[in-house]
Structure 1
């Protein structure tokens, strides 16, 4: 089971990544663009998902497109939440208790890639 410190370690290793405290908890940005965040049970979130977020650690990440988010939800519906809010799409939220450290690192790194400029992706070793 991954914890928030695992996310912090992964994010800290990504070029240009910055952690900020927000109203809803910790959030991670690259060049001012949000790519991962601690979910907060805002009133605009559907009640059944808000109940989950209120009782356990849920993290949201940007994804390349909506189909990626849907595929994750289909793959593990007990871990990945169907939606939180329509803002900031495409994204997916997941229960940290259902994610291992390796999968968390993959999700966070891919989220970073969706927001990072090319020159920072090259620093990470991305060819394209």
Structure 2
């Protein structure tokens, strides 16, 4: 099961990443842009989704396109929540207890890529391509 410490470990390896404490929990930013966060059961979330978020650890991440979020929900409805709040769209929220560890790493890294400036993406790619 993935934890917030796992998310911290992944985020620490991403250039320009910063963790901040927010009202709803921990959140990760790249150059001031939010890319991953701990979900909170806000009243604006549909009741069935709010119950999941209240009962277990759920993380939200940015995605490039709304279509990508819909595809993830259709592919794994037991992992990805169909809806949360409207702010910070496009995004996807997922159950940490159910997400595959490799997919989790990819989700966080791709969320960072969506928000990171080009020079940081290039820096990251140069380091990881050289391996």
TM-score range, shorter chain: over 0.9
- Unaligned 5+ segments in structure 2 are none
- Unaligned 5+ segments in structure 1 are none
How many Å separate the matches in 2 of 1:108 and 1:125? 15
SS in 2 for 1:61: strand
**Contact kept in structure 2, 1:17 and 1:29, CA below 8 Å:** yes
Q: What is the TM-score of this pair, normalised by structure 1? A: 0.96
The residue that corresponds to 1:81 in the other structure is 81
- Residue 63 of structure 2 corresponds to residue 51 of structure 1: no
Deviation per residue, 1:17-40 (Å, 9 max, x gap)? 000011100000000000000000
- Residue 18 of structure 2 corresponds to residue 32 of structure 1: no
Deviation per residue, 1:58-96 (Å, 9 max, x gap)? 000000100100110011001100010111110000000
Could you tell me how far 1:102 is from its partner in structure 2?
A: 1.5
Runs of 4+ off more than 6 Å:
none
Q: CA RMSD in A?
A: 1.2
**Contact kept in structure 2, 1:6 and 1:101, CA below 8 Å:** no
Q: How many residues align?
A: 127
Q: What is the TM-score of this pair, normalised by structure 2? A: 0.94
Could you tell me how far 1:101 is from its partner in structure 2?
A: 2.1
How many Å separate the matches in 2 of 1:115 and 1:38? 17
